[in-house]
Every structure is written in structure tokens, then in C-alpha cells.
Structure 1
Amino acid sequence: MVTQKAAESELQPVPVPPDFGNNPHPFLASLRELGAAVPVVLPDGTPSWWITRYDAVDAALNDHARFSNEVHHAVGREEIKNSQALIRKDPMLRLVMINRDPPDHTRMRKLVVQAFNARAVDNLRPRLERLAESLFDGMSTEDEVELVERFAFPFPVGVICELLGIPHEDSNHFGGLVTQLVGAGKPEDALSAIRQLKDFMAAKLEEKRAAPGDDVLSGLVEAADEHNLLSEDELPAHALQLLTAGHETSIYLISGGMFRLLQHPDQLAALKKDPGLLAGAIDELLRFDPPPIPGVFRYATEDVEVDGVTVPKGSLVILCLASANRDSTKFEDPDRLDILRRQNPHLAFGNGIHYCLGARLARLEGTIALGGLLRRFPDIGLAVPPEEIRWRPLHFLQRLDRLPVRLR
């Protein structure tokens, strides 16, 4: 627990506790007490500044000029390790849309925004429902299953296949590589996964050149080859981000969301009684435990004052979405899961120009997955005590290692 007082003129850097990944919220609450901006030492020794309170996080998300996504703004880059080191070591990762600012970010986002609009996502619904039902059918004769392996992992991977036009038989291969990338404990392990993902994506792009279809990858090839809207290096980078971006976060939403519902039987009962509450339940689950833990990376392009504290130019800054979503100045009783919550302006999908492109699709995935599980398996329950369920930290994402459930 952090013991410094917010009134101190010079906050001392606070180390991230060892159990942060499994229970981040007490530490985040203590940081909010210290201030809206707090210096924090990451587990790998990297110095950083965490923005903790809702209004400050929201303001920073909307201020891409001073809080940049581009790593070249960082000073002391030799001190930035692990996932951030990968951006420097691998030139292609610097080119992905999420790591860029306007005008490049704007240009790249325009190329795929239509694939995630309301009409496009609605058109995907029947195929996603069939995919979910086939996975449910595979579980229907069993009394107990491990839900991450049997549903929460294969369903989002299948969704990516549908969206990008990748054969479903490739799903286990690239899904495993994505997990290796975001969960690698050592940079060299992640770099190995990146190299394999590059090779995989290069092969798929060549297939689309030879036989284009009505899918996102074919559209990107056309944008690069016929319209010069993507460079030769940007094309695989952009495709790779689309392959990986929504994969782990959707696994978390499904498995973590179900776990939280099973931990809160009153909320689960209300949802079973009225499936019409599902849309609000999805947003409340995202508020309660957003997949990016604690949040998203930025770099200060100048000295920035945040609620009376100066974040120095060149700092690695983490906008703590998970902390903002538990800020009592914005949410009533924020540590309580309440699927009937009326005012819920959560920041799980970010805000500003980097607002999650796949937010609509993620909500649809969550609706189909959680709604279908409760419909097909109304007696679903935990097969192990809750304290045995462990979170797996994945470079500022999280997911459950396992979620054993009984289905009847």
C-alpha cells in the first residue's frame, strides 16, 4: 500500500507491487489518493508516470499533441525495457497504427474504419452467431469444461478470421503466436513471435494478391498496390495490428466477464431473468475490469502539468483506464459491479483519435458470447473455488489462465 501523502511537493517513485496483475485495484486506489499524476517504477525497472484520475486520464486521451503514441519522443530510451524495447528493436512495430500520431495515424485508420462501422459489424452477426453455436454444440455433452480453451480463446480468433478473410484452419497457429507475443517474459521470445507472425502475414497478403476476396486484408492489399495509400513496409504492419489488436482483449472480456458474473450471483440472476440487460452488463464489465491493465502507453512531448504536478518531457506515461473507471468522483460506488448502472461513461475503449476502432465489434462479441453461454448453459457455475482463479498479466493486458466451469 502506498503511504506517501499527496501534499508532498516531490513524490518519490512508487514500485508496482508483485501481486499487481492479480489484484490491481487496491494499488490503483492508493495512487489516486496520491494524485492525478504519480511516478511509478515498472516491474522491469522502467521509470514512468501514471495518470490515475478520470478527468486527467480523459484529458490526456484527447491530447495527442502532448501525449504522443510515438516512442521516439521518449528520453532515456535505454531504460525502457520489454514491450517498449520491442518497438525500438523491431522497425515494423513502429509502423503499426496504434504506435503513430497524425497524419499517419489518420491515413491508416481511414483505410479500415468502414470495416468496423455499424453496418459492417451488423452484417457479421449471423456468421459470428453460427461460430458461437458450433462451439457451444461442442461443449453441450460435457458436464465440465475449461472455458478459456473451449470458448473464450477460439471464438475471438474465429471472429478475426471472419473479418480478415483468413482460413479458420489457421486460427490455432496465429492465435498461439499472438499469445506468445503479448505474454513473453523476455524480449527475445516476443521477437521470435513477431518474426513468425510477419512470415504468416506475408504469406496471407500474397494469397490475397493472387485471389482477392471481400475481406479486410484484400482491401489493404488494394490500398497499397493500386492506390499507394500504404507503403510496402506499412502494409504488413497494418495487417499485423488488425490480426492481434482485438484478440487478447476479447478473450479477457469473455472469460473475465463470465468470471465476474459468477462471482456476483445477484447480477447473474438479474441478467438471466432479463437478457435485455446484456448491453448494459457488457459496458459495466468493461468498466469494472477493462482489458488494458492498468491502461495505455503515451510519451510526453513537453513538460505537462497535470493537476499541479509536472510530468517531464520525454516521460513514459501510462493513462490508467482501470483507475479512471473506479474514480468515485465519476462513478457512484465504483467498486461495486452493477449491471443496472445508468451513468457509465467508462474509458475502457479509450477516447479521442485513438478510441478503439473495434469497440462496436467487441460489444457484439461479448453479447453473443455471454448471452449465448447463459442461454445454452443456464446452470453454469465455477468448478473450482474463486481463489484458485488466477489472472495472467500480458504486457499491460490481462486474461484468466484458466476458467473451469460446470455446465450443468
Structure 2
Amino acid sequence: MKRLLSLGILASTVLAFASPTLAQTVFLSTQLRPIEEATTVREELLQGVGDVDYVVEEPPQFAVRMEAERQAGKHTISLVGALHGELSPIADKDGFEPLDELAKKLAEGGMPQSLLDLGKLGKTTQQYIPWMQATYVMAAHKEALQHLPEGADVNKLTYDQLIEWGKKLQEATGQPQIGFPAGPKGLMARYFEGYFYPSFTGGVVRTFQNADAATGWEKFKELWAQVNPNSTNYDFMQEPLAAGEVMVAWDHVARLRNAISASPDDYVVFPAPAGPKGRGYMPVVAGLAIPKGAPDVAGATKLIEHLTTQETQLLTAQRVGFFPTLNVQLPRDLDPGVALLAGAVTATQAADDALISLLPVGLGDKGGEFNKVYMDSFQRIVLQNEPVADVLKAQGATLSKLMTDTKAACWAPDAKSDGPCPVE
């Protein structure tokens, strides 16, 4: 009897400790990972929706974890938040619950059908609900504008004008004044994939080693001569901008927001420069999806509904600098810094020479290896001054093998491919 009583006490103790965990809805996200952003999600964006465990994961580990749970058939995650390209390989393995009813409600509530169609990932049913969107822009201290080349429009800059601007700034101040997030946790790879390569070659993979790419790299070497060498240590450009280490910078809107919101009257925000093929830019769409076998589908559905309300979407824009997927008017009392960023996003999307470059799709857990091809090329060509043709040939072979191994088809702006995207 005593033994049974002891077991009963033990069992009730275990249940007492386990029940809060079981009651939690686990929300795994590759987005809003930095401590400050994750804290905002937990303390503000997820208020009032029950007991949610918001867990962040780097994209490569996210892919591994999701595949491990799928293969094991043991699911702990009820909701995932990730980029379009990170969700695509899971959808290809029939890994998500269809969300058509939610999509229908959101379309009626003002979410653009074009965005919802992206969330189908080429399938007949809704795979994810667009959660938030962003892109990358440039920002500059207003005092830098006096050194713009004659006739240059900051909203329609070319690479030649940016280089000339950098030269004038360096002459005036005695040091390079342009900055890029080329540090260990910076997003420099996205610059090459979404901005530099499309602008100079019209593609990303097919055109990796062609003559236009070689010309582009020579031009980028000219630009780098005007770039603060500390850029190889910068992860977020808001910090060196605010500290006055650089006067002009390129980065993700969420990684510029703090500096610009702190002193909105001191900055201008504008699209990245255009090259011979257009003004490349990368729209970043993050989505919310429910894995098949999720332990709390109802809780996950409630979370999606909450995160896509007008109130939460506007709060997301205000607090973390990602913009609504709902077609909502930004309020007049919106943080002036966020309003500046929103204006630059609109100017980028509306540019006559805008050239969309989608995030990589179909690479699975090899996204890091894809990024490494572009970063290794940058380090060898620009930082180590190796011959452009030799580096592109070697890195092109690495890229070609990666595309063949993953069987990833081409994505925009590259022309579609029947099989793996070729390096031509």
C-alpha cells in the first residue's frame, strides 16, 4: 500500500511538472532570432494567446530538426515561422497541414492574393500563411547628401554613382564611409544573391561565372576601396551607423531600424543601386505553417489568427521592423524611423528598373553551403585579390555540384529549369 501511495505521489508530481509543458504550444522560428527581437515576440507580440513556447533556430538546424521529427513520426512543434525558401522543402515532402480556410478568411480581410498564392508553394492547397515581409535597403546620414555626385538622385543611384559618392566622402572625411554587414553573422551573402548578381548579370546561379559576373566583380572591387575595412566585423549596420563609423550602409530593414528610429531626422533611407541589368532586390516573405502531426493544431491556428490581425501586424512593424502582409495603411503616428524604412521599401518595389531575386528554394539544409559559395568568392576576389576568372571557375564548380546534389531548380531571376539549375 505504501509503495502504491509513493508511486501515486510520484506520478502526480511528474504530471504536475509535465502539464505546463504539455499545455504549451511550441512555436519554432528561424525569424526574429536576436535576443532583443525574440524578447519582443515573447513579451509583446504573443501576449494574450495562451501558453506559447517561442523557440528560435538557425535555418540549417531548423531543416534538420523538422526532417528528424518527420522521419521519427514524433512531433513536438505545432507552429513554424520561416522564410519562403526554408518552408518549400518541407512542403515538397507533404509536411504541412493545408490552411485553405484560414487563407480564405485572410483574403477577405485584406491580405493580397498574390502573397497568398506564394504561400501555396506551387501546390493546390495553402501550405503557409504569409506572416511578415521585409527587404534590404540603404541608409545614410543626411550630412552625406552634400557629397552626392552632381545630378545623382539618392532614390535612383547607380553603382558608378555610389562609388563616386564613396570617393567624395572619403576625400571629405579622410576615411572610407560606406559600410556592409560582412561580419560572421551579417547578411552579406544576401547582398550578393539578391542585389549584386541580379544587378550585374540578370541571374544568380546560371550567370554565376559568365563575363557579366566577372565585370561585376571588378566593379565591386572599385566599390570596396570606398568601404570601411571594419565591415568584415559588422553584423548589424545600425550600430556602426549610430556610432558614426560609417555614413552610408546597406542592410536588412530590421537591422537598420534601431539607429534610424532613435534619430529619424538624421537619416535618409533609399533603394540599393542599379547595375547594367537593373536594380536587383530581394523581397523577404516569412510564413507560418502547421506541421503534419502537430500536437496542438488548434493552438497553432489560434496563433496564426493572432499574428495576422491588423493590430499585431502593425505592432510587428513598429517593434521589429518587418512589414505587414495584410493590405493595411500604416498609421500616421507610426514610429518615424519605421516610416522611413517603409518608404524605402515602397520605392524599391516601385522602381522602374526593379529586378526581383527570390530567396533560394529547394536547397534543404544546404542553404549555408550556397551562401558560402558567394562569401568565399567575395573573400578570394575582393579581400585576397585573387584573379576573378580563376575564382569564378573554382567556385562555379562548387556551385554546380551543390545544385546537382540538391536537385534544386532555378528560381527568379534565373530562367526556369527542368532539372537542377545549371551554372552556365
Into which bin does the TM-score normalised by the smaller protein fall? under 0.3
Q: TM-score, normalised by structure 1?
A: 0.25
Larger Rg: 2
